[in-house]
Amino acid sequence: MLITMSISFMVILIAIITMLIASILSKKSFYDREKNSPFECGFDPKSSARMPFSLHFFLIAIIFLIFDVEIALLLPSILTLNFSNINMWILSLSFFIFILLLGLYHEWNQGALNWTN
């Protein structure tokens, strides 16, 4: 027990010393204006690098991702056609597509798909 504790203490001590030495040696002694500025083909940027992001574009991207994943879920259903009952397959696929169309109608009704805003 004493040997395990002493080895653990030595490992922690070596790790702390290594981190302190690394932080002391990695400090830069000079700051260059060109190295600290945002890179834009060697020229000073004309506008702020922190431009506001369009929330409408973000919502369209999220809707695209959701429907893209749902299409990826639909593709394996073609392979299961040979191994399943045709009536159950049509019923489950119709239900899934109905849910997709219901979501699309809801997004359309909320105005998320309207680009004129």
**Where are the domains positioned within the chain?**
55-110
User: Distance of CA 104 to CAs 54, 70, 96, 109, Å?
Assistant: 21, 12, 13, 9
Cβ atoms of residues 107 and 63 within 8 Å: yes
Residue with the larger pLDDT of the pair 113 and 85: 85
Q: What is the pLDDT of residues 29-80, one digit of tens each?
A: 566 666 666 665 656 556 665 666 777 777 788 888 888 888 888 888 888 8
Cβ atoms of residues 113 and 107 within 8 Å: yes
**Over pLDDT 90: what percentage of the chain?**
22
Q: Report pLDDT for 28.
A: 63
Using the CB atoms, write b or e for 26-46: b if 16+ within 10 Å: eeeeeeeeeeeeeeeeeeeee
Mean pLDDT of 1-25: 91
Sign of CA dihedral 103, 104, 105, 108: positive
